[in-house]
């Protein structure tokens, strides 16, 4: 993949256990040293717009406080792009918190030309971090994807909570050739339409994904419609009507071997 640029998006907001309040974004061109304030200059690459962003903090079965960050990006260019990066928690001085203040976005999500796409990342946070956090920063990488790709925005049927990874049940309409296995990302909203988080399921970044597949999920996407259930992290009591999912895979001659066993 060709690198478009490395950019950063500063998101305002004071953390609360029930959610956040955002302000207008400020951007910076490169990652700041850990103990230096974040400079404030506008530097998002031409042809790309971060339309929305948001987060929520909630308890999970394994963590008392879990922070989930999501964003929606519009790609005005004629290139298929991928979006990746990392999340950094800042104190009131604009410095990254020294303990648990930086979190990589595991994997990337992709966006077709002249379209929008979304994703996000979740991670545990401590009460101390929440007490000291004033804002968070997304350092975003935008790459041009040169390999042939196919993308699908499926219909979400239901969200299933369970002790293991929660599941999202969906119906996919594949207008291309049959395929096994996909990468996918999700974007979550509340009843007011505000983004509360997102998730990226990059099979290369999460090689043990098969351990979390439900019984009967064969990951086979024939031509036409098919139903599936895949593991995903989402806020409690997530409404399927407020959930968007994006699927993508390579269309090259080795598409069946693209993900391995």
For the chain, percent of residues with pLDDT exceeding 90: 42
At 67-84, the pLDDT tens digits run 999 999 999 999 999 998
- Answer positive or negative: Cα dihedral of 247, 253, 259, 260: positive
At 80-133, the pLDDT tens digits run 999 988 888 888 888 888 878 888 888 899 999 999 999 999 999 999 999 999
- Averaged confidence pLDDT in the chain: 80
Q: What is the pLDDT of residue 48?
A: 87
Q: What is the pLDDT of residue 140?
A: 83
List, in order of start, the domains of the chain with CATH numbers.
2-145 (2.60.40), 149-257 (no CATH)
pLDDT at 231 exceeding the cut of 80: yes
Q: Which of 190, 249, 203 minimizes the C-alpha distance to 230?
A: 203
What is the band of 15 on the pLDDT scale with cuts at 50, 70, 90?
very low
Which residues touch 145 (CB under 8 Å, ≥6 apart)?
Answer: 1, 79, 80, 81, 82, 110
| Distance, CA of 125 to CA of 174 (rounded, Å) | 38
Q: Which residue has the higher pLDDT, 243 or 48?
A: 243
Q: What is the pLDDT of residue 20?
A: 33
Gyration radius of the chain over CA positions: 18
Q: Which residue has the higher pLDDT, 235 or 207?
A: 235
pLDDT at 40 exceeding the cut of 70: no
Give Dmax (Cα) for the chain. Answer: 54
């Amino acid at each position: 993949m060709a690198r478009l640029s490395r950019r950063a998006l500063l998101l305002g907001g004071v953390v609360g256990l029930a959610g956040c309040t955002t302000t207008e974004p400020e951007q910076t061109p490169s990652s700041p040293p850990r103990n230096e304030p974040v400079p404030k200059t506008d530097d998002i690459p031409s042809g790309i717009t971060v339309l929305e962003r948001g987060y929520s903090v909630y308890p999970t079965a394994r963590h008392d406080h879990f922070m989930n960050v999501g964003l929606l990006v519009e790609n005005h260019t004629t290139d298929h792009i991928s979006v990746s990066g990392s999340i950094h928690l800042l104190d009131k001085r604009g410095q990254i918190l020294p303990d648990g203040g930086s979190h990589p976005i595991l994997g990337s999500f992709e966006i077709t030309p002249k379209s929008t796409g979304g994703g996000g990342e979740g991670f545990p946070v401590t009460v101390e971090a929440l007490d000291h956090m004033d804002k968070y920063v997304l350092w975003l990488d935008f790459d041009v994807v040169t390999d042939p790709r196919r993308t699908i925005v499926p219909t979400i049927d239901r969200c299933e909570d369970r002790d293991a990874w929660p599941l999202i049940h969906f119906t996919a309409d594949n207008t291309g050739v049959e395929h096994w296995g996909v990468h996918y990302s999700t974007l979550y909203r509340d009843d007011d339409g505000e983004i509360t988080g997102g998730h990226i399921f990059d099979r290369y970044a999460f090689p043990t994904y098969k351990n979390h597949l439900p019984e009967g999920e064969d990951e086979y996407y024939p031509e036409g419609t098919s139903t599936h259930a895949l593991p995903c992290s989402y806020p409690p009591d997530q409404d399927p009507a407020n959930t968007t999912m994006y699927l993508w895979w390579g269309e090259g001659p080795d598409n069946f071997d693209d993900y391995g066993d």
